[in-house]
Amino acid sequence: MQGDNDQLASFWMPFTANRSYKAHPRQLVSASGMYYRSSDGREILDGTAGLWCSNAGHCRPEITEAIAKAAATLDFAPTFQLGHPLPFELAQRLAALMPEGLDRIFFTNSGSESVDTALKIALAIQRAKGQGARTRLIGRERGYHGTGFGGITVGGLVNNRRVFSTLSGADHLRHTHDLTRNAFTRGFPQHGAELADDLQRLVDLHGAETIAAVIVEPMAGSTGVLVPPVGYLQRLREICDRNGIILIFDEVITAFGRVGAATAAEAWGVIPDIITMAKGLTNAAVPMGAVAVKRELHDAVLDSVAGGIELFHGYTYSGHPLASAAGLATLDLYARDGLFDRANDLAACWEDAAHSLKGRRHVIDIRTIGLVAGIELEPRRGAPTARAMELFHAAFDDGLLVRATGDIIALSPPLIVEKDQIDEMFGKLGELLNAIE
């Protein structure tokens, strides 16, 4: 293998061009606050909160100390037919942060597991309500819901699907990206609410009695920041209500302050039946995910079983002590430092800085919402995605971490970001856009 060497060869890296990475490795060795440090000793300004996850910034002592304490007190205890205090406390705290009514919490270890858990819970709810024929799951083109078989089934990114088989019966709404009508929008695009009517079209095609649930990211992140058009999510909610369909918001990216509230559901005033989370739940310091479910739907499942286990689902590490401790310390930090308000406080500065790149070479769209920006580049002729990847590498070499996805650069810094760091991010990107071909 080109660039193969003993030290790097064994780790089969996820979502990575392994050969090219191992030929030109870029490594991070430590982190603090807004900065990573690279193996060649440089500070790297974190424009992406790691992978949309370290919302409170890196290596916060309040979190690392809580993890150390938990590890020394109770390294592991099962949560199958037994319990320990921390996940009960965390579930209660998390329930209080969710939109009213979504106060029953199932713990997982990742976003992918949260999605598959949510889909299974939706099927269990339909069955408990005597609607066992509702087995169809609806996702959306360009959606990303992790890499489990449930997640890739409802997901809409072709590279994540084409090699693998998916679950039968699923269908997809069209995506909402519309450069012709919505380019360079600040906040919610004006056009596209009618795309939610795709759900009605699928109801008319398949029959409501076959559809269990629809899952969408309130803002599609991984595909390159697609902000929902004005009225779109509301319309989805209405169609679900009319047709007995469970609405799942995948908030693995949008929860925990990214769009100016604990959840996008709260920020944007559309309340789903189930919310999936991960990433910012523990500030990514220990892997953990969660699924919040409306109480009456949870109760329907519990009440449908006369005795014994109500849901045959779970993970060895559901509610792991270290993750639970990290989650509790993280929620404390978010509250103490008012981090969920930061996206609103910084909105004008963030938008102005991002949209200042309008007119730069290669830039065909800029989208912003909360503390998120997507900068779409004109694809290089014959080499789609190459330009954004080159910009990603150039930014890293210049001390800035951004995310490249397709031909889009995504930014989502830790919520502790300061105004001068925002200026630095977009200032650097502006210069690099001039420099790359």
Ligand X SMILES: Cc1ncc(COP(=O)(O)O)c(C=O)c1O
Contact residues for ligand X, defined by CB under 6 A: 110-112, 115, 144-146, 217, 221-222, 250, 252-253, 278
> Residue of minimal CB distance from ligand X?
111
The CA distances from residue 69 to 63, 77, 265, 325, in Å, are 10, 15, 34, 8
Angle (CA) 57 61 66, round 5°: 115
Between 235 and 258, CB nearer to ligand X: 258
What's the maximum distance between 2 C-alpha atoms anywhere in the chain? Answer: 67
**What is the β-pairing status of strands 28-32 and 35-38?**
antiparallel
Between 47 and 146, CB nearer to ligand X: 146
Provide the minimum distance between the beta carbon of 146 and ligand X in the complex, in angstroms, as a whole number: 3
Q: What is the DSSP string of 95-129?
A: HHHSSTT--EEEEESSHHHHHHHHHHHHHHHHHHT
Between 99 and 289, CB nearer to ligand X: 289
Residue 84 backbone phi and psi in degrees, to 5: -145, 160
Between 235 and 279, CB nearer to ligand X: 279
What CA–CA distance (Å, rounded) separates 120 from 150? 9
What CA–CA distance (Å, rounded) separates 95 from 320? 18
What CA–CA distance (Å, rounded) separates 243 from 27? 50
Provide the minimum distance between the beta carbon of 30 and ligand X in the complex, in angstroms, as a whole number: 22
Between 52 and 426, CB nearer to ligand X: 52
Provide the minimum distance between the beta carbon of 112 and ligand X in the complex, in angstroms, as a whole number: 3
Provide the minimum distance between the beta carbon of 266 and ligand X in the complex, in angstroms, as a whole number: 17
Residue with tokens 């024929």: 133
Provide the minimum distance between the beta carbon of 42 and ligand X in the complex, in angstroms, as a whole number: 26
What CA–CA distance (Å, rounded) separates 53 from 115? 16
Between 208 and 402, CB nearer to ligand X: 402
Between 58 and 428, CB nearer to ligand X: 58
What CA–CA distance (Å, rounded) separates 176 from 164? 25
Provide the minimum distance between the beta carbon of 138 and ligand X in the complex, in angstroms, as a whole number: 16
Provide the minimum distance between the beta carbon of 252 and ligand X in the complex, in angstroms, as a whole number: 4
Residue with tokens 């001039």: 434
Provide the minimum distance between the beta carbon of 209 and ligand X in the complex, in angstroms, as a whole number: 28
Between 110 and 153, CB nearer to ligand X: 110
Provide the minimum distance between the beta carbon of 115 and ligand X in the complex, in angstroms, as a whole number: 5
Between 113 and 428, CB nearer to ligand X: 113
Beta strand ranges found along 346-434 (DSSP E): 363-369, 372-377, 400-401, 403-405, 408-411
Between 146 and 413, CB nearer to ligand X: 146
367 bridge partner residues: 374
Provide the minimum distance between the beta carbon of 282 and ligand X in the complex, in angstroms, as a whole number: 11
Between 57 and 143, CB nearer to ligand X: 143
What CA–CA distance (Å, rounded) separates 178 from 198? 15
Could you tell me the two tokens for 119? 């889909």
Dihedral in degrees, nearest 10, Cα atoms 191, 195, 200, 201: 130
Residue with tokens 């916060």: 60
CB neighbours of residue 68 within 10 Å? 12
Q: What is the C-alpha R_g of the chain?
A: 22
Provide the minimum distance between the beta carbon of 1 and ligand X in the complex, in angstroms, as a whole number: 26
The CA distances from residue 319 to 131, 249, 254, 285, 422, in Å, are 30, 21, 21, 14, 36
